[in-house]
Amino acid sequence: MPVRLVTCCLLLMGIAASFSRAAETFSKVPVWGGEISAAEMCVSDPNVIYATSWYAGLFVTKDAAATWTAISNEGANAVAVHPSLPNVVISAAFGTIDGSHIMRSEDYGQTWAEVGRSAIYDAKVNAVRIVPSTKNEGTFYLLGHDLNTLDGVLYKSADAGVTWTKTSFTSGNKLIADVCVDRDENLFVTAANATPSTNGPPPWDNEMSGWLFKSSDGATWTTLKSFEAAPRYLSVSSATLAVVTMTYGDDSGIYISSNAGHSFTCINSAGNGYGRQAISPDGTKIYSFAPDGLRVISSSSPETGQWNSPTLVSSGSYMSGGYVLINRLDPSIMYAVGNNSVGGGNDDGILKSTDTALSWRPANSGLAGLIAYTGAKDPDGNMYVVGAMSVYKGSSDGTTWNKVFSPDLGQPYDPSNKQHKFESGSVMAAPATDNVFVGTAGDLWRSTDGGQSWTLVFSSTVYSGYANNVDFSALVFNSNNPATGYFALRQSNYGTTAVSWTRLFKTTDGGAAWTQVSLSGETIQSLAIDPADPTVIYAGTGDAPIYSASFIYGGLWKIIDNGSTVSWSKLSLDNKIPYRVVISSNGVMMAACIEPNNTSTDNSHGPAYYSTDGGLTWASISAESDLIGIVDLKFSNGAWYVTDSMTIYASGSPQRPFFQVASKDDLGTIRCLIVGSMYSGANKGLFKLSWSPSTPLTSVIEQPKAYCYPNPFNAATGSTILKYFVPQGRSVDSLKISVYTMSGELVDELPEDNNLDDGNAYYYFWNGKNDSGRLCARGVYIIVFKSNLETVRTKVVLTK
């Protein structure tokens, strides 16, 4: 059946079944830093560091983090660098139920080859850590889980990672954690007393005991030590070995040995942090990030086993859960890594210190690991986006970015404080120049100076018992009078019972003060102000607990706020939860809804509908593929956008079909859409979308024209573009596109299209199907474009 496309840059490249768009459709916005999960430094050339993000891929720096270059779109679970050949790097792509792909490069990551496939991936081994030997250069060890036997296994390579051989190590079907190799080629492995599964290991915050294993040859292994608190991380340098346990258990702490594990000194201090430790080249200092900053344990004579209590080196270092890389040729130079693989949620990327960790600065130029969760653009064109823990501001048309706010970072540490992370339940708005809002975890901050300073203007602590269980569901402002705005709260419902909890707030002074609106009913999940009549606010209501399918389907409500009284009444979308609602300047609405027959794999998302009569009646939107799990939808500059996290679709009108603008392959998992032109926040950062509902003609024509391409086309692998030209000075009030067989039988037709501007080209496509959705027979078909100007015909050959 034929559907309307609409854009120039989306069609410059070959058309596939899903309409591959041209690279010009989106461009990367240079917000550097982000959620880095691991990084490793070359021992002999510490200017070379490889860093990986779970989502954004692999990066390399050859100039001590002055600049970074992307070298792979795929993130890695583990990375290792050859000690004397900085160009040789080995990575383990994130493991699945099928195992890990082990990739190797000899040119700083410019090209890659898979190695050890039969030994590791085909054997369904999930790699956990890869480490090089410093004694026997070219020797690497890989620790992983065998998903067939649910056993911990260790592999060895003696040819710099080209081939891999399984050693005799076995964890006895226990959960393996880490591996290291000391200067004398002693191997150490930690394991926890828990059984792994094909669905992933048990959470590391569960109470588990564990063991430390040792081998001097990789063949014979001994149990060196048992622990009540499972040992998680290993570090080694010079003669110093550090074993870090989890926080529970009478023997939890950091265990330090200077004699290859024959004896240990335990530093039982939770204040020193229980993440990965970094040991100085001479083995006298052990660094780790604690919640309040970077701490160090030191010893003037490690061989005696005498170690000082941990002391704070630098406070406000934002890498809780992270670790440090130390330049072994100049130990005053250090790099802080977020280690987001343990869920730290840090978005600072890589920090660098040149004064032995006394001060830190970002070293992220080119390091595109930021996940953008939401954002806003103010009237002056300044962009604001939020990462995992911080707010970033972009100026100069988005070419210059700075971090301007982190609610929890740099604050005095208190373990009872609420955590403010922006992955979910966060909102942002910039209704006026230098008036910016960001909210998460039920707390709302405001900046009136473009992000330089922030004031808490609302806190959910007013709700006793709910303070740590509240999210924002919406934050909207009157575009005609930005002094007026509204936000709604919802409970973070991780239970099994749906709740009714109406919390709507209003400001009339630009957001300095907020007052609760007296309404009772269902939980508000979305808000949209009618730009034509700002006294009307639409609210999507209901509740969908995470661990239950017993939902409250509240429907769409219409709020009337005349300035003195506020009332609301149900409007439509019964038996649905409209969790996203947007309305255009001409009153067209679109809503994404959770509904009982939702077939999405995520029951918190569903399909989208549109309304042209003020929300009274609704119809489903259509697209090239089923859209059943909408994450976000927006209207901007005459175009409508929807995304299901895998693909961004766009259309000039929700009445017309949507088609692909960008995909997960390019952006990573798509998290949000941001109005201001149109931006997409995704796992690989922030992107600007360049899409228009029409293309200006480059030459003058006097009559409408039409043609198809590719022609012939194979409907089994793609579609054909139907391009219609409107002559200058002659607008099209109505256009009807129909497909006929050569004998005149009607095959399919597109609903009438209206108001096509003069001097523009408009795009549609036909996928070779009839109006019943069945593939047509091969042959010649007539495409008829009938408008108020005249009728134009063209032929297309379907090869099937």
All domains of the chain, ordered by start, with CATH? 32-368 (2.130.10.10), 697-798 (2.60.40.4070)
Higher-confidence position of 274 and 680? 680
DSSP result, 584-631 = -TTS-EEEEEE-TT---SSTT---EEEESSTTSS-EE--BSS---S--
Mean pLDDT of 170-194: 94
pLDDT of residue 682: 76
Higher-confidence position of 693 and 649? 649
Q: Which band of pLDDT confidence, cut at 50, 70 and 90, is reported for residue 433?
A: confident
Q: Which band of pLDDT confidence, cut at 50, 70 and 90, is reported for residue 284?
A: very high
| Max Cα–Cα distance, the chain, nearest Å | 97
Query: Phi, psi (5° rounding) for residue 121?
Result: -65, -50
Mean pLDDT of 412-423: 68
Mean pLDDT of 561-580: 94
Q: Which band of pLDDT confidence, cut at 50, 70 and 90, is reported for residue 639?
A: confident
Q: If you average pLDDT over each of 275-279, 601-605, 617-621, which comes out highest?
A: 617-621
Beta strand pairing status for 515-517 and 524-529? unpaired
Whether the per-residue pLDDT at 601 is higher than 50: the answer is: no
Adjacency order of strands within the sheet including 779-787: 746-756, 732-741, 779-787, 791-798
Q: Which band of pLDDT confidence, cut at 50, 70 and 90, is reported for residue 605?
A: confident
Higher-confidence position of 741 and 18? 741
Q: Which band of pLDDT confidence, cut at 50, 70 and 90, is reported for residue 417?
A: low
Residue 118 is given by DSSP the state: I
Whether the per-residue pLDDT at 625 is higher than 60: the answer is: yes
pLDDT of residue 7: 31
Q: What's this model's pTM, rounded to 2 decimal places?
A: 0.78
Could you give the 3-state DSSP secondary structure of residue 104?
strand
Q: What is the mean pLDDT of the chain?
A: 86
Query: Phi, psi (5° rounding) for residue 304?
Result: -85, -10
pLDDT of residue 669: 83
Residue 121 is given by DSSP the state: I
Give CA–CA dist 162/138, Å, rounded: 10
Whether the per-residue pLDDT at 94 is higher than 50: the answer is: yes
pLDDT of residue 624: 66
pLDDT of residue 11: 23
Place of tokens 């947007």: 582
Buried b (16+ CB within 10 A) or exposed e, 391-426: bbbbeeebeebebbbbbbbeeeeeeeebebbbeebb
Percent of the chain scoring above 90 in pLDDT: 55
Whether the per-residue pLDDT at 274 is higher than 80: the answer is: no
Whether the per-residue pLDDT at 641 is higher than 60: the answer is: yes
pLDDT of residue 411: 59
Whether the per-residue pLDDT at 761 is higher than 80: the answer is: yes
pLDDT of residue 486: 98
Mean pLDDT of 201-213: 77
pLDDT of residue 178: 96
Higher-confidence position of 765 and 798? 798
Enter the tokens of residue 483.
Answer: 């002094």
Whether the per-residue pLDDT at 449 is higher than 90: the answer is: yes
Is the previous residue joined to 710 through a cis bond, with omega within 30 degrees of 0?
yes
Positive or negative, the CA dihedral 90, 93, 95, 100 is: negative
Range with the lowest mean pLDDT among 64-73, 176-185, 510-519, 695-704?
695-704
Whether the per-residue pLDDT at 20 is higher than 60: the answer is: no
Mean pLDDT of 706-718: 84
Q: Which band of pLDDT confidence, cut at 50, 70 and 90, is reported for residue 276?
A: confident
Range with the lowest mean pLDDT among 63-72, 553-562, 664-673?
664-673
Higher-confidence position of 155 and 672? 155
Whether the per-residue pLDDT at 553 is higher than 50: the answer is: yes
CA 594 from centroid of its chain's CA atoms: 22
Range with the lowest mean pLDDT among 128-142, 371-385, 408-422, 598-612?
408-422
Percent of the chain scoring above 70 in pLDDT: 88
DSSP result, 516-577 = EE---SSPEEEEEE-TT-TTEEEEEEEE--TT-S--EEEEEEEEEE-SS-EEEEEEE-TT-E
Higher-confidence position of 232 and 347? 232
CA atoms within 13 A on the CB side of 192: 25
Q: Which band of pLDDT confidence, cut at 50, 70 and 90, is reported for residue 552?
A: very high
Q: If you average pLDDT over each of 107-111, 458-462, 625-629, which comes out highest?
A: 107-111
Mean pLDDT of 471-488: 94
The residues, any chain, with a CB within 8 Å of residue 32's CB and separated by 6 or more, are: 68, 349, 362, 364, 365, 366, 367, 368, 370, 401
Q: How far apart are the first and last CA of the chain?
A: 14
Place of tokens 């995992």: 388
Taking alpha carbons only, the member of 135, 182, 177 closest to residue 154 is 177
> Is 41 in contact with 339 (CB distance < 8 Å)?
no
Measure Cα distances from 356 to 4, 705, 723, 739 in Å: 61, 70, 63, 73
Give CA–CA dist 230/223, Å, rounded: 14
CA angle 595, 600, 603 (to 5 degrees): 60
Place of tokens 């009540």: 228
